[in-house]
C-alpha cells in the first residue's frame, strides 16, 4: 500500500475483527532519532505464540479461511526495506500489540499520507469502539479519544452532516499543526 495511513487502517480493522473493544493507536515521529513508529494495542482475543510468527508469512495467511492479518506481511516487508522492523506481542484472551518501526528519512519509506481520512473512517465506521489516538512529532502532539467525542455527542451520531464537517476540519487542522501548520507530506 502506498501510504502508511492505509496500513494503519488495516491494523485497526484487524483489531476489530479480533473482537477488540478498545484500540490505542500511536504514531511517534522522532526526527532526531530518525524513527517513525506505529503502535497498535488492542484488547482483542490475541494469538498463540505459533500463530504470531505465522501471521507475517504471506504463504500461510493467504491460505487460511479467515483472512485476518493478510496485511501484516505487507507491513513487515515495508519496514524491512526501511531499516526497521515489525514486532508482534500477543497473549491469548488479553490482546495484541503491534509495533512497526521505520527509519524516518529512509527514501523507501511510504509517506504517512492522509491520516485525517484514516481517523475519520475508524471513528465513523466503528461507533462502539473505544478508540484512542496519539500522534507525536518531536515535541508536538495531538490526541483524540472516541470516548471524549461520544460524551460530548450524547447520542447524536457522528454522521450528522454538521458533525461530520466539524470532524473533518478538526482532524485536518490539528494534524497540520503537528507539522508546523503546513499540511503533511503529500496530503
Partner 1 sequence: MKSLEDLKRLQQQVKAKTSLRHAAGTQVIVGMGTCGIAAGAREVMSAILNEIAKRNLEDVTVRQTGCIGMCEKEVLVDVVRVGQPRITYGRVTAENVPTIVAEHVVNGRIVEELVVAKIEE
CB of 32 to partner 1, least distance (A): 28
DSSP string of 126-173? -TT-EEEEEEEETTEEEEEEHHHHHHHHTT--TTSHHHHHHHHHHHHH
Nearer to partner 1, 71 or 95 (CB): 71
What is the radius of gyration, based on Cα positions, of the chain? 17
Cell digits for 47? 494469538
CB of 75 to partner 1, least distance (A): 10
Helix, strand, coil shares of the chain, percent, nearest 5, are 40, 25, 35
Nearer to partner 1, 10 or 99 (CB): 10
CB of 177 to partner 1, least distance (A): 9
Residues that bind partner 1 (CB under 8 A): 1, 6, 9-10, 13, 16-17, 67-68, 70-71, 74, 114, 117-118, 120-121, 124-127, 148-149, 152-154, 156-157, 159-166, 168-170, 173
Amino acid at each position: 500500500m502506498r501510504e502508511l495511513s492505509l496500513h494503519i487502517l488495516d491494523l485497526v480493522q484487524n483489531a476489530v475483527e479480533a473482537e477488540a473493544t478498545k484500540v490505542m493507536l500511536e504514531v511517534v515521529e522522532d526526527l532526531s532519532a530518525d524513527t517513525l513508529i506505529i503502535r497498535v494495542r488492542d484488547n482483542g482475543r490475541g494469538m498463540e505464540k505459533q500463530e504470531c510468527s505465522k501471521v507475517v508469512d504471506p504463504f500461510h495467511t493467504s491460505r487460511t479461511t479467515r483472512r485476518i492479518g493478510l496485511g501484516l506481511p505487507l507491513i513487515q516487508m515495508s519496514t524491512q526495506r526501511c531499516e526497521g522492523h515489525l514486532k508482534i506481542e500477543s497473549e491469548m484472551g488479553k490482546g495484541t500489540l503491534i509495533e512497526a518501526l521505520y527509519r524516518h528519512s529512509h527514501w523507501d519509506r511510504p509517506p504517512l499520507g492522509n491520516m485525517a481520512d484514516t481517523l475519520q473512517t475508524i471513528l465513523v465506521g466503528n461507533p462502539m469502539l473505544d478508540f484512542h489516538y496519539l500522534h507525536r512529532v518531536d515535541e508536538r502532539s495531538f490526541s483524540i479519544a472516541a470516548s471524549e467525542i461520544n460524551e460530548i455527542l450524547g447520542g447524536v451520531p457522528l454522521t450528522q452532516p454538521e458533525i461530520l464537517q466539524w470532524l473533518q476540519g478538526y482532524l485536518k487542522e490539528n494534524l497540520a499543526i503537528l507539522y508546523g501548520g503546513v499540511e503533511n507530506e503529500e496530503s
